[in-house]
Structure 1
Amino acid sequence: MKIRKLTIHNIASIEDAVIDFDSKPLSDCDVFLITGKTGAGKSTILDAVCLALYGDTPRLANTQMEGSSADQGDDVKVDSPSRLLRQGAGKGYVRLEFKGTNGVDYEAEWSVARAREKVNGRIQKKEWILRNLDSGMIYKKDKEVSAEIASAVGLSFSQFCRTTMLAQGEFTRFLNSKDNEKAEILEKITGADIYTKIGAKVFEITRRKEKASADAEERIRDIRILSDEEKDQKLKEKEDKLAEAESARAARNECGKKVDWLKQEARLKVTIESDSKAVADKEAFVSTDEYVAEENLAASFRTTEAVRGNLENQRREEAAAAEARTRISGLSERYRSVKGGLAFLSDEEKRLAGEKASVDAELEKDAPSQPVLEKEQTIAGNIGVIESGREYIRESEAKLSVLRSDLTERSLALEKAKEAENAAGNGRRLAKEAQKKAEDALAESNAVMVRKEIGDLKEKSVDIKLAQDRLSLLEQQIVKRNEEAQDIAEKEKALDAKIAERDSLAKVVESERIKSEFADEVYRMQSSTVEDTVKAIRNNLQVGDLCPVCMREIESALPTDLDLQRRLAPLERAREEARIIYRNDKDRYDRLVAEIVAETEQLRRQKSAFENDRSVDQMTESVRMAAQKCGLTAVDDGTRAALEARYQEIGLRLPELAEKEKICAGLEKDADDARRTSLAARDAVDKAVAARVKAESEVQSKKSEIERVEALVSDRIKAVSSAEQAVGDILSGSPWEEKWSADTGIFKKELSEAVRSHRKRVERSESLVKSVDELRARMGVVQGMVAAIEEMMPSWKELPAVEAANIPGLSGEADSVRSSLILERHKLARAEENAKAESSKVEAFLSEHSEYDRAALKALSEYSVAVISEIERRHREASEKLAAAKVALETDRRNESEHQLNKPLLADDDTVDSLETLYKSNDEAMSRATTEAALLAESLRQDEENREKAGKLREAADRLREEYVKWNTLNNLIGDSAGKNFRKIAQSYVLDSLVKAANIYMKDLTDRYVLKVVPGTFVIEVEDAYQGYVSRPASTISGGESFLVSLSLALALSDIGDGLSVGTLFIDEGFGTLSGEPLQNAVNTLKTLRMKSGRQVGIISHIEELQEKIPVRIEVNQNERTATSTVTVVS
């Protein structure tokens, strides 16, 4: 990510400021200084960058203060970014332009305002937006902005602060903190809180696995399983009850059959009596006089049904004939109207013929102008070409005048561009000569070899320290392996003791089990005796009876159920105590067995790991290889001293090379400046060439445009001349031959009017011809239809026509009259013929049936079909009921005979009531036996389920126990409730890596100190070269030296992690503790960062010595009167 421009308005003490990192001098420098008095607002620049990107600042994120305070009546939290709004301002904002790691240009803006932007307004909600300057996309929601920032920058807020902004005092506090605090700080800075979470999670899972294992064992103990004797007893009882139920069921079913037979016999007797009465009643009903009369009426109605239809048809046909005669009479009037319409058409034909003769006479007058009128469109088109061409020629002449003037100006500009190009070329040549001279001087300094030697020596120094560290780790690993062997021996001894305890406890448990089962059996037998025998005897004995046991007279009341239960109480208590003792010893035995299994497995794995551990051999080989890399062929007691001697030799050589490197750095700067000057001269040449090419292009463009316009004018002149010739040829010899060229507008108007008039006369003549033809065709059609009508009705020829008038649709009316006359004449003939035929049929029926006459037929017609159908329905229903009653009576008698054949064996005193009582008794006995058998079956089924369930629970419990043992082993190594154990282990490795990286920077800052971590701890020590490389805690060094240590750690920390970087690194640390050579070394080290990693460094400090060493500065100056600050970039 590259920061381009930062704009600040009314944030903290800064009223307005714009810092352009893409412009000189900031764009060219390796290190720049942000300077100003204390409180002027130097750190506000860093706050502004963070506000724009993350909506938060390091100082607010790290504050320990809590709570809120009043602001215009509102409670605003002390860590709210809104508090950064400058006092006395209504609105403030920061705006940051930057290029993301994804190559996209963005502008981020954070702003806060008071209500209506007034000074006394209430603080409003902040606004945070992000603009994609490449696509124009704008993000306004916090989630959208945060997501896009994460994509563009690649760092979270904490990672950004860690790698880009090294805040005041953070690392000095780190050096002096306790172990837990160091782990927490490293966790916060590196974001590696996962180790704490893993350690706590391991502890949590272990506790959960332990509880799950214990719960599984408890569930197994809660399951009751029958003994084999109990199971066999219940099986026998179930079979006996099932046999008893089957016997009761057979007796009950036999009683049921007898009851059903007796009830059916009684029902059949009642049914026979009822059906016999029904047959007699229905036979009497069909014999009444009324029934017989209705039967005869229905028969006559059906016999005369056809002839009565003939009589009705005769009447209907005679009425139809009368109606047809009336309609034919009405058609004669319509015929007279049609003849009047025909007369009107004849008069209209004569009128149209006269109008056509008049129009044809006018067309004869237009004959001389006919050729011109027919080419009116051609003439109008040519005149349009003439008029538009003349206008285009006038406009183009004016345009050519402007283009020629512009061409003169562009030609002068081209000459100037050529002169500027020559001057830029001379400057480029001089700059290249200066660049070559500076690069030759740099080459003679042999800077590459000097830096290579420095790098090689530093690499050797690191190799020596690595060999020393590996030698220390080897010694520690040997001690650790000896301790591991001793631990295994102690665990084997403890395990043997537990095995012996288990064997001893197994005998005790077995003894307690036998005692518990004996106590349970005694209680069960006594309880069964009380339940069955004693209670049965007690129920059959009274006071005064002889006791069957002692043969004495019973003098007092026998004991109650409660008395009997009280006598069993001691036995029950003894049984429960035995169960508790057994269960406790059994639980202790099971736990001991589980512990032995777990510890045996753990010890096996530990021994296997110990036997397979090759860490000492591997570390020995690692030390040998590291020593060999340092030039030592063997590892012995003198290895450490040899490594130290070589380290001292390197320490003496490095200062000499450092002086040479400083000279090389100066020559490199001169060469870089010469290269930049040469590049600037080349850019100037490129710009001059581009300007000259552009000027030439513009001159050529103007020339081409002039030529194009002149060619178009020439074409238009030719087109106008051709159009004038064409119009003259057409009008030659016509009335318009002389006057068309005087005023083309008037000519076009007169010609157009003449064409319209001529066309109207032609169209009218053609219309009249068509109208006459159509009229004559219509007359012919109507005349034909009138002739057809008169042929059918000759008497109508003498009828006078009505007055002549126009009748719309005359031919249709004539055709309608003709068609209607044909239809009505046909209807009349058919009706008369049908009436005669129906009358003949009636007379034929009466001659065959003398019992009927026309009056009788008329009387029968008075009855409706519905009445006769109802009579027939009732008679048919009566007959069907009589037949059904007879069939039912016959069926009852047959059923009664069959019923007697199936009579069961009955006793003389068997009745329905006595048999139903016996049926109920047997049914109850069957239900009791079935219920008891079902309860026993359920008890056995439940026992099977319990056995299966107990087996599955045992498998599950074993698996859970195995899981718990595994997790407990892991928990013993790295777990605890707070996750501190694993965090310390992991962060100690992170700290060691951090310190090794810091030593590389420390060598550039000072050759006096080397940092190291006491293995297995968080203790940071320094080896002091001025005191014989004696190690001492880093907390004992002075303030300036402490800052150098902190700075090396900060730079190393900024390199850790994500592989993502920001182009500018800001350091807000205490450079005031340094002076002289240490300060110069620190500045030189920071300057090399750009060459090594491409990162520019911004230092925040107010000390004057830094201002002398760092020429490029961002100065923050505060007005003591207004307390506002201004920001200026100087060099």
Structure 2
Amino acid sequence: MRPLRLDLEGFGAFARHASVDFSDVELFAITGPTGSGKTTLLDAVTFALYGETPRMGRKGLKALLHPGVKKAWVQLVFRLGDEVWRVTRVIAGKTEARLERQMGAEWQLSSASEKVKTLNAAVERLLGLDYDAFTRAILLPQGRFDAFLKGDSRERRELLFSLYGLAGLAGLRERAVARLGELRERLAEARTMTAHLEGVDAAAVEAAREEHKRLAEERDRRAAEIAALERELSALDELAELWQEKRTLEGRQKALEAEAEAMAEVEGWLERARAAEQALPEVRRLEDARRRLERQNRELGKKEEAYQKAKNAWERVNEAFDERLLEDLRTRAATLPLLEAKARTLAALGGATAGEGVEDYQEATYRQLESQLRAAEERRKALAEAERLRKRAAQLEKRIADLEKELAAATERRERLKEAGVELRRKLDELRQRLSAERRRADVASFRHLLRPGEPCPLCGQPVHEPPPAAQSPLAGLEAEAERLAAELEEKRGAWREAEGEIKGMRERLSDGRKQLAELREDLSRAEAVAGARGPEDVERLVARLAAMRRGLAAELERMTGGRDPETYARELRSRLAELERRAKELERAKRALDQAQEELARARERHAALAEALGPLEESVAALLGQLGFEGPEQVEAARRSPEELERLAARLASWREERAYVAKRLDEVTRSLAGKPEVDPQALRTKKERLEAAVQARAELEAQLGRLEERIDRLERDLAQKREAEKRAAELVGQVGVWEQLAEDLKGHKFPDYLLERLQLDMLARASELLFALSQHRYRFRLADGVYHVEDLWTGAVRPAKTLSGGETFLASLSLALSLSEHLSRGRLGALFLDEGFGTLDAEALELAAEVLEALPTQGRMVGVVTHVPELAQRLPARLVVEKAPQGSRVHWEG
């Protein structure tokens, strides 16, 4: 039994699931601090197999549950011969169990799983060991083998009596009496057989053997004669066959030479076809490059046409556009609000000049009336101006709010365009990376025609096992997709730039609107201040001032409008400015389109130049390759190609012809040399010798028949004689066994037999321990047993001394040999695992070093050996370590080394 995997959960110190894979380890340490669960792993193995543990038995299984869980389970996978089994046990209220055997990739449930008791019995039958024998054989008792080695015979007898399980000897006497009766019956049968064969003796057998010897000598003489004749006939047959083979070979050689011209033609076809296959990738690569250049030519023509179209459009718009006039109109348009305000002021002042005929009235009356009228008029005008400015301010505020909304929408649209552009840029970069990789792959694939099986690769230098298969390149599709994405990206960029220009214009208009709003609010403040003013004013001075203001405003308006009506002048100026603004935007759009067309044309020219530049060397390379391979042009390559089936058929035909021609020539030369100076065979002489051989063979066959009959008689006599002697021998042995069993039956009346049985078992166990000690001590020590005391023989000095005189390190080595031997003896070869818990923590530094050396040299021979220790120095010396760690949430386990 060889454990492969152990899984447990909720068992002992392991609250959470833990798994241990034993499949690829032999010698290892089970290490960890005290109380971490090292022994729990061994308990889990025995519990999985037998449903009980050495510490708890069957009744204390609930104590194996971790305090924090209500259910525990253990599963062990183990190998028996060529079979793999899995046993699972669960502790939850009552114990559940399941036994399964692996059948391919599936697990088949054993019928023994129906009841726990039945399953336990099935496991014992599989292992060939009951629970007591298993635990004694797989778990070596800790710290007891030093006492076992050096203790007295009474202590050793008690220990061996316990380990071998000899407590059930009570009913052995009855079985001994029954065995004695059986032996007595067999003794009577043996004596009857001896009496029946009384007449058979060795003299008759000897006479038959002498006759057999005479006939065998005559047969051997005949055999020698036959051998001589067979050698002569073999030589003659071989010579005749050689002459016949020569005639056949000469005829075949003529037929093969007649096919030489046809085979030369086949060889030419093959060489031409192979050259065509070698040149084909380069020819197709050249054709592909030409097609790509042609496509790029067409694309370049389209880009040039688009560029010229954009250029013509820009020139047309540019010719009809006067930038200086636009700037002049913008400057003049900036003064329109002032001009309109002055026109309104002049219109208002025109009503106030009606009082110029003031001398027709009395001065006092006039002044009083004028003062009142003037105050009322000023207030009315100020109120009207304030109301107009409020309306204008409200309009400006609404316009500013609309501009802010439009600006927000334009900004959002610009951001969406930017995100779309970034995504397109990412896709284009990824596609270009794929395109670059495919181009490199295509470049590497272009060297495929240079790869030869068994020769080094011209790129990496590694030997070529098999050239990679030719594959259809996705370059054309990737390039088209890259061009489409690049065009879409440029379109997004143009839309983003247009949106950026639109946002810039909106911001400028918004800034102008806010400035105008600020000026209007200042004018409104002044108008409101005037509307609220009180107090009389000198009419004369006021009239004169109003008249002067009117004349000044009229002169300034005439200068600003050129004598035209201000409203008409402002309307025409705004109309002309709007037209020029529209043309400016149209010119800007034409310029953007021209720049984009120019950029696309430059990229198209770069691609065209790169393709054209790469085409020249490729054409030269293909021309050189075709010339080297004997082709005048690519069209001859396609004409020279053959199907793989035809190539294989032609090559096989040519190879077969060459092979046969070479073989015929070589064999004919060999046969001719062999026949040099040898005559042809006479058929009559050959027949005569065959007749002599047949007669000799017939005579030998008759002798063989006589010998066969004589051998049967001798065999019969020998069997009878052997049966007689065997019966006599068996009778003698049975007499001895009957005496032994009579003595055993007598001995079983007291305590003699257990001592006898223990002595036999102890001698067998000590013999194996001596072999192990001899190997582990580097061929120095062997065990000796004298008067019930263990001794060791020192083969270096020849001395034999009691085991009590051994040093500490020697004692450990001898104790380990005894422990391993006893484990093997108890398990009788059924166990592929052993766990050693021998108390290494009590050893000093020297003894610990020796223990480590012994365990490192331990011959596991495919058996799994686990050493339970918490000594780090020892654990580190072993090839692998199963580390058990304590934790509040439950122990954990993992492999090291």
TM over 0.5: no
Band the TM-score falls in, shorter-chain normalisation: 0.3 to 0.5
TM normalised by structure 2 equals: 0.34
Normalised by the length of structure 1, the TM-score is 0.28
- Structure possessing the higher radius of gyration over alpha carbons: 1
